Every structure is written in C-alpha cells, then in structure tokens.
Amino acid sequence: MSKARVYADVNVIRPKEYWDYESLAVQWGNQDDYEVVRKVGRGKYSEVFEGINVNTNEKCVIKILKPVKKKKIKREIKILQNLCGGTNVVKLFDVVRDQHSKTPSLIFEYVNSTDFKVLYPTLTDYDICYYIYELLK
C-alpha cells in the first residue's frame, strides 16, 4: 500500500472529534423554519432548492438528501462543520429533517451565482486552475 506524500498524517495532530464523523451527534434544527421557493439543481445524492428562512425572511439554499446511509450524511455534515469559516466555503446554517419521513436536509447560505452548466463551458484552463487554487486556499 502506498502512502500519500502530502497530508498523510493530517488527522494525527487533530482531536478525535475532528475526524470521527461516526460519533457525531447531529443537532437537528426545525424544518418549519424554512420554505422551498424553487428547484435550482440536483445530483446523485440530493436535490437543491432556493429557499427562505421564514423567521428572518432571508434567502437560503436547501439541499434535500436522497436516501443514503446515516454514515454518509454524518460524514458530509462533519466535513462542512470542519470547513466552516474557510475562504470560499459556503456556510452551513442548519441541519433539519422531515418529522414524518426523516429525510434530512442541509441549509446553506444563499450565494447568487451563475449556473455551473452555463459557466463551465466558457472557462479556460487558466480559469479552472484559478478556481481550484481559490478552493484550496
């Protein structure tokens, strides 16, 4: 088995709570605080909607997860919590679930942006390198 040359031991210097997503106790918020406005996208594991926080009247993004193992959901939540506050990282505001179906949803800050499917074909190799660099900062 090969060993990564970079960041191979990154979790050694971190407390167990940082990387042990299986032990994460999810703090579920109130789903009734949010309403779906319109669908903006979908992926293999979720559908994404523009939404609104009914308490603050602020826009948000609601990512409704398709049925997957709890382990995958916990891993995504933990990674998002660890990245919180990072440069160019969308903020995770809340984690909620439907009371009846138990379907989980992630609530993110709303970012006004161009649809990826429209933007991507216009990008040059330099543009792509720049955006990847910005993500890795």
Known binding residue 16? Answer is no
Three-state SS annotation for the chain: CCCCCCCCCHHHHCCHHHHCHHHCCCCCCCHHHEEEEEEEEECCCEEEEEEEECCCCEEEEEEEECCCCHHHHHHHHHHHHHHCCCCCCCCEEEEEECCCCCCEEEEEECCCCCCHHHHHHHCCHHHHHHHHHHHHC
Query: What residues are designated binding site?
Result: 63
Query: What residues are designated binding site for ATP?
Result: 63
